[in-house]
Amino acid sequence: MNIDLSSIQDALQSISTYIHRTPLIYSNSFSKMFGAEVYIKAENLQKTGSFKVRGAFNKLMKLETDKVIAASMGNHAQGVAFAAAGLGIKAKIVMPLTASIVKQEATKGYGAEVVLHGETFSDALNYAISQKDYTFIHAFDDEDIIEGQGTIGLEIINELQDIDAVLVPVGGGGLISGISIAIKNLSPKTEVIGIQTVSATSAYDSFHTKGIVERTPHPTLADGIAVGRIGNKTFEVMQRYVDDIIKASEESIAMSVLLFLERKKLVVEGAGAVPLAALIEQKERLKGKRIVLVVSGGNIDFTLIDRIIHKGLVSSGRIGVFKVIVDDVPGGLHKITGIIAVQRGNILNVVHDRLSQDVPIGKTPVIFTVETKGHGHLEEIISAIREAGFRIIQ
């Protein structure tokens, strides 16, 4: 492996005129919420909305070719397309037929030719590799790509000292590999912790078993890190420089997307939100520490954002859904709505389930969707309804 601190410093000097030096933002609200000193490295504000342009520029600037090809579901595609356009190189991006239309159009908008091939990312990847008249650009298992992503680590350390932990999203491992090399060389005591979703655990399993493990990703909000197998090069780096890899739940990821919108007014994709999700779940472990969350991207699919926000509201207790068994007579529903009103809950939706077969004649299940202040407030509403003699099914 030929990557070291010097090569990452060279990469930063080479690409600095093509990229943004993204801000390192102190979050007063997150710091109070988690009892830590929390900073956000906002790569969602990077060109193309993702850190991927760093590695793409570093790779393409070293090539002697006028045609490149890559396979991607989104961010790598846009990074390569943007870098190629900036350097006068023709880019072809292969995407599976299942890639979102939003990401297809964004990639085309950066000047690349988009080819749809196969039903899965593996199909698209194998097709891209087979095109021998193009130079293939790997998304993460490439030394030049890793060096480019490592420039984030340099920027963090140059701006903030005495960092206890840096939390980094992990898919194939290119981002955390570059960052960990930079940080461990400049600040050896700083922990570099990788975060995966529970729905895609190749890096987690590989790191902890000390051997590369392939895992088929499940559907996830963090689709940008839904990688089935980490790279050989990235595995080698992670074993040497990364302190730990942990997992975050889908519920916490959804809650984190919502928190970034509400508290920081930042649009963050699921993959970029996993460091905050880990902080939610590892609050005690990280309490009192100076922490940097690497927010890797903001290219969220806006056709899904309403569902993500709703899931986040439910996970945080801000929206509660519960079923109450009521007498199927005039005024029965009014008693329940009156209790909810007294408790200052806001009813968003009411559905009668009169076709349900698990309740006796004369009773009907009613499903309430209620906006609340959080889990505690929701429990107060439910307790008040139970104390009034009603049966609740959650």
Q: How confident is the model at residue 356 (pLDDT cuts 50, 70, 90)?
A: low
To the nearest whole number, what is the mean pLDDT of the chain?
92
Strand pairing report for 319-327 and 290-295: unpaired
pLDDT of residue 97: 86
Question: Helix H segments across the chain?
Answer: 5-15, 28-34, 52-60, 75-87, 101-109, 121-130, 143-159, 174-186, 202-209, 232-241, 250-264, 270-281, 283-286, 305-315, 332-342, 375-387
Q: Which residues contact 182 (CB under 8 A, 6 or more apart)?
A: 5, 8, 150, 151, 152, 153, 154, 157
pLDDT of residue 162: 96
Does 354 have pLDDT greater than 70? Answer: no
pLDDT average, residue stretch 26-33: 96
pLDDT in tens, 202-241: 999 999 999 999 998 898 989 889 888 999 999 999 999 9
Q: How far apart are alpha carbons 128 and 305 in whole angstroms? A: 30
pLDDT in tens, 316-350: 888 888 888 887 777 778 888 888 889 999 999 88
pLDDT of residue 120: 77
SS3 category, 151: helix
SS3 category, 265: coil
Q: pLDDT higher for 384 or 279?
A: 279
Structure tokens at 220: 């996830």
Phi-psi region of 195 (alpha: psi -120 to 50; beta: other; left: phi over 0): beta
∠ Cα 125 126 130 (to 5°): 115
Does 122 have pLDDT greater than 90? Answer: no
Under a CB-based contact definition with an 8 Å cutoff, are residues 228 and 123 in contact?
A: no
Domains in the chain (CATH in brackets) are 5-50+154-312 (3.40.50.1100), 53-136 (3.40.50.1100), 318-393 (3.30.70.260)
- Which range has the worst mean pLDDT, 116-125, 160-169, 353-362? 353-362
Under a CB-based contact definition with an 8 Å cutoff, are residues 178 and 12 in contact?
A: no
Structure tokens at 264: 């920081």
Percentage of the chain exceeding pLDDT 90: 67
pLDDT average, residue stretch 143-148: 97
pLDDT in tens, 31-83: 999 999 999 999 999 999 999 999 999 999 999 888 999 998 789 999 999 99
pLDDT of residue 352: 80
pLDDT in tens, 272-324: 999 999 999 999 999 999 999 999 999 987 777 888 888 888 888 888 888 88
pLDDT of residue 70: 95
Q: How confident is the model at residue 14 (pLDDT cuts 50, 70, 90)?
A: very high
